Amino acid sequence: MSGGVDSSVAAALLVGQGYEVIGVTMKLWRGEDDPFAAHRFGGCCTVGATEDARRVADQLNIPYYVLNMQEEFNAAVVDNFVAEYASGRTPNPCARCNEFIKFAAFLERANELGCDLIATGHYAQCQWDGQRYHLRRGLDHKKDQSYVLGMLGQAELARSLFPIGHLEKSETRRLAGNLGFCVAAKPDSQEICFVEDGDYARFVIERAPELAVTGPILDADGNKLGEHQGLAHYTVGQRKGLGIAAPQPLFVTRIDTAQNALVVGPREALGRAGLAAERTKWTYQPPQVGEAVLAQTRAHARGLPATMGAVSADAFEIRFVEPQAGVSPGQMCVLYQEDEVIGAGTIK
Amino acid sequence: MPGEIQNRTQVYLDNAATTPLCAAAQAAMEPYLVGTFGNASSPYAVSRNARAAVDRARGQVAALIGAQPDEIVFTSGGTESDNWALLGTALANWERRGHILVSAVEHHAILEPAETLRDLGFEVESIGVDENGQVAPEAIEHLLRPNTILVSVMAVNNEVGVCQPVAEIGALLRERGITFHTDAVQAAGKLSVSVNELNVDLLSLSAHKFQGPKGVGALFIRRGVKMRAWQRGGAQERGRRAGTENVPGIVGMGVAAEIAHRNLSQNQTYLNSLRERLEQGLKSLPGACINGSSAPRAPHITNVSLAGQRAESLALNLDLMGFAVGTGSACASGALEPSHVLTAMGRSQSAARASLRVSLGVQNTVSDIDNFLDAVKQVLQRN
């Protein structure tokens, strides 16, 4: 229970369905030390968020606990976030948190409390067909969060409930209002929870100062076009903030941390015919080579038509039907067939 | 129990956190909530009666610690008393700033204002403890400087129950004219506390730790000690602490203090026997170690490490079964932090995370202890 509307309604629905529910907020991030600082009042892991969650739990008359999981979160998510930036990649901390914290460390805590299942307020659907679990996009495609759950396998799905996955967001809010929850009108969380002011570059530079060092901006042939302000300020596909006058718009095509160089090119240079993924998890079984899939390469995007190339237990390759921009190393590539997740991996 | 989630507490074993209000204190408070509601500083009858009740309570609290009544100043609780002891002494020594010693195992109500004083330019230093959590008087002697203005060492530690050699420390500070404060929040009502035997100048008390009401405490300030008011804006408490007196709270504290004083030795014997039973049971558990057990301890606190267990989960399971126990201090959000007391005693982070505080009160019974031990065994067997 993050103190937001989704997990609050998820808890209420489970209570209504007759489950014995324990509400838990994971304290993942220490955050701002100054108790008077403005951003102590919003966002996840703040005192305000746990107060909201506690109020909802009181209303539902369920036990409620705050579990301290800062060490696990730091090691699995925050350190990785910085390390990925430092190697020129674009991490997805939410997917990482689901894989290592919510559906691993938190599941372990649930086991210790004798719980049979864990539930979250994700917009995703999990169904059992008598033989195996199917993970599908949330009914509300605008809010769908199956992308960040791509690394869940049968073992995790067997222990998980997504009570609001079949709802439209507007319906969730309506239910929260009917239940009299104080959080009914609370805005959706947007940014990465541990970067409280949304300034990723500042956050990364504090922990990896080398990413603030200026260096060359190069074209594909190695010609110097300008000077970058430190690699922490750029991601692949970025157009703004390069400060180069050129006849056609330029985009970041590659981040070369070894040379501290930013490689740029025209829009066409972003096009990828396919991609290779590592650290792969198959929801049930790997697909066949040549099988048609939809590949989603970033959160809040659509699945792109593609064909399976090489497939193994822990890696895969795909070819897009048409070349695609928006493929960033470090992001997740989640594979779907129709609206069902079949597997996921990290883009190389 | 799995399948039977409790949303209420049946056996309360966290008496170091707070205790239930005793019936006599509750009865004594009631007239001052409604009938005798007067402001104790006003001249008319309803206020004179309130004032008389505050003075009676002052005598009762003074008797508990062997002080003169005019050396007792009522506060809003132990935290205010601790904060004021440090900040008030610092204000009184503002020009020279100076050196302040606090033990590493103090409550955060001492450690955090000490940090504030460091920010304000005082030389604040921590006194280390041994593996039992005790401060050595010689260690303090060693750390003293010519400009040392204040030393604060608690009487009984709130997490492990270990007693500090307060009287010896007080004796060596008295010779040197250095102000000595002790946080006696966990000692009062559990051990015999005498400000003269302990050689202290300042001593903090909290009513709700000895079956008084919450929101009221006291600071003993020895006559003539160098102190300044912190909370100002009225002549209450002889100008030492401004603000309309919490008359019902103070009355409740007085009665609770009198009862705790009267029943001291009988309660000690009872709590000791309960704790002996508790610790015998705990020691039979795999990997159990009673923290601080080789040092003298107050009779109501047991801190046990259970190797390989996550105390947070254990405590939450016990809560779900209706048992209330402590696992160290919580941060603002309610998440539990590893204990600074156990780490100061040289225990590893993992031992600190595996430790549970069980603290007893006079309302606890032998069957509370036996039921608790059964519950712990059930949880350990299940996981």
- Mean pLDDT along residues A119-128: 97
Contact A27 B313 (CB under 8 A): no
How confident is the model over A138-195, as pLDDT tens digits?
999 999 999 999 999 999 999 999 999 999 999 999 999 999 998 888 888 777 888 8
Residues A36 and A168 in one domain: yes
- The residues of A that are catalytic are 97, 193
pLDDT at res. B270: 98
Residues of chain A neighbouring B380 (CB-CB closer than 8 A): none
Output the domain CATH number for residue A51.
3.40.50.620
How confident is the model over B39-53, as pLDDT tens digits?
999 999 999 999 999
Pairs of residues, one from chain A and one from chain B, whose beta carbons lie less than 8 Å apart: 53
CA–CA gap between residue A340 and residue B205 (Å, rounded): 63
How confident is the model over B307-355, as pLDDT tens digits?
999 999 999 999 999 999 987 666 666 667 778 999 999 998 888 889 9
Output the domain CATH number for residue A220.
2.30.30.280
Report percent pLDDT > 90 for chain B: 91
User: Which residues form the domain of A78?
Assistant: 5-121+163-178
Q: Which long-range contacts does B366-375 make (Cβ < 8 Å, 24+ apart)? A: B366/B274, B366/B277, B368/B11, B368/B13, B369/B274, B369/B277, B369/B278, B369/B281, B370/B277, B370/B281, B371/B11, B371/B323, B372/B11, B372/B13, B372/B278, B372/B318, B372/B323, B372/B325, B373/B278, B373/B281, B373/B282, B375/B318, B375/B321, B375/B323
Report percent pLDDT > 70 for chain B: 96
Task: Give the residue from A232, A251, A269 where a domain finishes.
Answer: A269
Q: Which residue of A has its CA nearest to B334?
A: A66
Residues A226 and A94 in one domain: no
User: Which among B2, B313, B319 has CB closest to A109?
Assistant: B313
pLDDT at B2 over 50: no
Residues A223 and A337 in one domain: no
How confident is the model over B158-168, as pLDDT tens digits?
999 999 999 99
User: Which among B312, B317, B319 has CB closest to A114?
Assistant: B317
How confident is the model over B199-250, as pLDDT tens digits?
999 999 999 999 999 999 999 999 999 999 999 999 999 999 999 999 999 9
A75: distance to nearest CA of chain B, Å?
Answer: 16
- Mean pLDDT along residues B360-377: 97
- Mean pLDDT along residues A221-245: 91
Q: Which residue of A has its CA nearest to B353?
A: A68
User: Which residues form the domain of B327?
Assistant: 11-16+264-382
pLDDT at res. A36: 75
Give the pLDDT band of residue A245 (cuts 50, 70, 90): confident
CA–CA gap between residue B24 and residue A206 (Å, rounded): 58
Residues A11 and A94 in one domain: yes
User: Which among B6, B313, B335 has CB closest to A66?
Assistant: B335
pLDDT at res. A41: 57
pLDDT at res. A197: 80
pLDDT at res. B3: 45
Q: Which residue of B has its CA nearest to A106?
A: B313
User: Which among B310, B331, B332 has CB closest to A112?
Assistant: B310
Residues A330 and A288 in one domain: yes
pLDDT at res. B382: 84
pLDDT at A292 over 50: yes
Which residues of B have a CB under 8 Å from any CB of A? 2-3, 5-7, 310, 312-313, 316-317, 319-320, 330-337, 382-383
pTM of the model: 0.90
Residues B292 and B256 in one domain: no
How confident is the model over B52-85, as pLDDT tens digits?
999 999 999 999 999 999 999 999 999 999 999 9
- Mean pLDDT along residues A322-343: 95
Contact A65 B382 (CB under 8 A): no
- Mean pLDDT along residues A267-283: 96
CA distances to A41, A47, A50, A88 from A37, rounded to whole Å, are 8, 12, 17, 32
Give the pLDDT band of residue B1 (cuts 50, 70, 90): very low
Residues B209 and B327 in one domain: no
B106: distance to nearest CA of chain A, Å?
Answer: 21
A38 vs B195: which has the higher pLDDT: B195
Cα-Cα end-to-end distance for chain B: 12
pLDDT at res. A48: 77
- Mean pLDDT along residues B111-119: 97
Residues B268 and B171 in one domain: no
Residues B258 and B210 in one domain: yes
pLDDT at res. A195: 87
Give the pLDDT band of residue A39 (cuts 50, 70, 90): low
Residues A174 and A38 in one domain: yes
